[in-house]
A = this chain, B = another copy of it.
Amino acid sequence: MLEELIAPDLRAALEEGDIAGVVDFLNDNHPADSALLLQALSAEESLVLLNALDSQLRADLFCELSGSYQADLAELLDSESLAQLASRLSPDDRVDLLKVLPSEQMDEVMTTMAAPEREDARRLASYPEGTAGAMMTSEYIALPASLTVAGAMERIRKEALKKESVYNSYIVDAERRLIGKATLRDLILAEPSSLLSAIMDDQVASVHADEDQEEAVFKLSHYDLLDLPVVDERGIIVGIITHDDAMDAMEDEHTEDMERFMAISGSHDDASYLQTPAWSHFKHRVIWLVILAGFGLVSGAILQGFESTLMNLMILAFYMPMLAGTGGNTGSQSATMVVRALSLKEIGPKDTLPVLWKELRVSLLLGLVLGSMAFLRVFFLSQGAHIPPNISIVSIGMAIALALCLQVMSATVLGAALPLLAARFKADPALVASPALTTVVDITGLLIYFGTAKIMLGV
């Protein structure tokens, strides 16, 4: 959006060699917007611009770029420039940069860092992707409970020069175990001579470093927090997760959910849609498509088994698309409801029975409506159809309606049951992708359809 509006001007300015004009533009705009503009340019072009900025703005802009674009830029930089850049980044952004570097370059940059920063980066990088630890930053304020409010304000003023998150101070004991929290609002309202131990809130929500990042995002949102402290197994504070990183993670989780749900596989880097080459898009999509097409061939084989039924009663073939489509749609709907309810923690695997009971009732209503619709279509609009003389159009209509009703009910319940089953086994419920479900209910649908026809019509 923004890219389109401004990138051509920027490009024109670049082509005219008007570096100064572009740099003015970057100086005047928010780094988050400038990053969108730079990403529309080649890494070489961006580098010329970045080098013309002052070093802090360069770092602020750099950390807004996508990981893959950072990697492209890093390839063009020598270790010294990278180390300088890294020193200007906040600890979590620094680790994110180190992670996208080839290991050799990473080691070189690490050796140029001061020992405490190196230790810190090593520690932050040690948490596996997807955990709360991998999301946190080590820039937070930790104060002893024995400090006075005035002393705390003094400390915060000093730390505020280098730290972004100064609104929550975490109160720790002598072993740095998290024992309380004081907001800057609490502090400016309190008597300057009060002790932190007297004014702190000792009910602090926190998350373990090994816990899933989803849990961290949930707590931050559920308790309306600015940041969430991360502790290790001994209760020692090791970092905080800030609200802006949690919001980004929420967007990422949602993209991941939707993509999983649509059977798009692979670990996604953060390159945008248009930047990702067609070949990568292909690779992320093809695996599941081939597997599902394989199942589609199974449906075909089942159909082949009912060849003689179909030959005798061709009218059955005309209702197959509706049967398959409706089964897929009802199953996807119930799966969507359950996946969302699970991710909002409205339900858990223990609610399996009430959920299935609810879906069974919903599906019975849906089955009755859709079955009646199919019956009416068969009854009123099958005048010219080739039907064997020993079978009435009413009985065919009844069989198709019953089969559709059974298909809707089984697909709906299956759509609700599979995500719950996945959750019970600690897998991501969205893995029960809608295409996979559609393909499964295609198969069960054919069996239900021809089974019902065989029993009710004897063909």
Closest to A276 in B: B358
Query: When the two chains form their complex, are residues B289 and A370 in contact, meaning their CB atoms are under 8 A apart?
Result: yes
Closest to A350 in B: B4
Query: When the two chains form their complex, are residues B336 and A289 in contact, meaning their CB atoms are under 8 A apart?
Result: no
CA distance in complex: A307, B326 (Å): 22
Query: When the two chains form their complex, are residues A438 and B329 in contact, meaning their CB atoms are under 8 A apart?
Result: yes
Query: When the two chains form their complex, are residues B290 and A369 in contact, meaning their CB atoms are under 8 A apart?
Result: yes
Query: When the two chains form their complex, are residues A189 and B203 in contact, meaning their CB atoms are under 8 A apart?
Result: no
Query: When the two chains form their complex, are residues B321 and A365 in contact, meaning their CB atoms are under 8 A apart?
Result: no
Q: Which of B161, B167, B225 contacts A184 (CB 8 A)?
A: B167
CA distance in complex: A264, B332 (Å): 10
Q: Which of B250, B325, B351 contacts A274 (CB 8 A)?
A: B351
Closest CB in chain B relative to A88 CB, distance in Å? 17
> Could you say which residues of chain B place their CB within 8 Å of the CB of A285?
330, 333, 362, 366
Given contacts A326-B293, A333-B262, A435-B332, contact A303 B321 (CB under 8 A): yes
A157 within 8 A of B: yes
- A30-B203, A296-B321 known; 8 new pairs, CB 8 Å cut-off, are A4-B348, A166-B185, A246-B247, A263-B329, A272-B346, A273-B355, A288-B329, A296-B322
CA distance in complex: A32, B328 (Å): 37
> Could you say which residues of chain B place their CB within 8 Å of the CB of A361?
278
A448 within 8 A of B: no
> Could you say which residues of chain B place their CB within 8 Å of the CB of A247?
220-221, 243, 246-247, 250
Given contacts A321-B442, A329-B263, A435-B332, contact A258 B226 (CB under 8 A): no
Closest CB in chain B relative to A33 CB, distance in Å? 8
> Could you say which residues of chain B place their CB within 8 Å of the CB of A296?
321-323, 325-326
What secondary structure prevails in chain A residues at the interface with B? Answer: helix
A107 within 8 A of B: no
Closest to A365 in B: B282
Task: Of the listed stretches A230-238, A309-317, A389-397, name the one at the interface; the rest are far from the partner chain.
Answer: A309-317
Query: When the two chains form their complex, are residues A301 and B274 in contact, meaning their CB atoms are under 8 A apart?
Result: no
CA distance in complex: A323, B30 (Å): 49
Q: Which of B225, B259, B274, B318 contacts A355 (CB 8 A)?
A: B274
Query: When the two chains form their complex, are residues A32 and B438 in contact, meaning their CB atoms are under 8 A apart?
Result: no
Q: Which residues of A420-455 are within 8 A (CB) of B?
A: 434-435, 438-439, 442, 446
> Could you say which residues of chain B place their CB within 8 Å of the CB of A319?
297, 300
Query: When the two chains form their complex, are residues B4 and A329 in contact, meaning their CB atoms are under 8 A apart?
Result: no
Closest CB in chain B relative to A339 CB, distance in Å? 8
Closest CB in chain B relative to A426 CB, distance in Å? 14
Contact with B along A261-295 (1 / 0, CB 8 A): 11110000000111000110110011011101111
Pull 13 A–B residue pairs with CB atoms less than 8 Å apart, ordered by A: A161-B189, A166-B188, A167-B185, A184-B184, A254-B257, A273-B340, A274-B355, A279-B365, A281-B337, A289-B369, A292-B325, A307-B386, A311-B314
> Could you say which residues of chain B place their CB within 8 Å of the CB of A346?
272-274
Closest CB in chain B relative to A449 CB, distance in Å? 11
Closest to A408 in B: B289
> Could you say which residues of chain B place their CB within 8 Å of the CB of A166?
185, 188
Query: When the two chains form their complex, are residues A370 and B336 in contact, meaning their CB atoms are under 8 A apart?
Result: no
Q: Which of B223, B257, B258, B264 contacts A30 (CB 8 A)?
A: B223
CA distance in complex: A338, B272 (Å): 11
Q: Which of B258, B345, B439 contacts A258 (CB 8 A)?
A: B258
Closest CB in chain B relative to A143 CB, distance in Å? 15
A17 within 8 A of B: no
Closest CB in chain B relative to A332 CB, distance in Å? 5
Closest to A318 in B: B300
CA distance in complex: A137, B258 (Å): 32
A304 within 8 A of B: yes
> Could you say which residues of chain B place their CB within 8 Å of the CB of A322?
293, 296-297, 299-300
Query: When the two chains form their complex, are residues B281 and A345 in contact, meaning their CB atoms are under 8 A apart?
Result: no
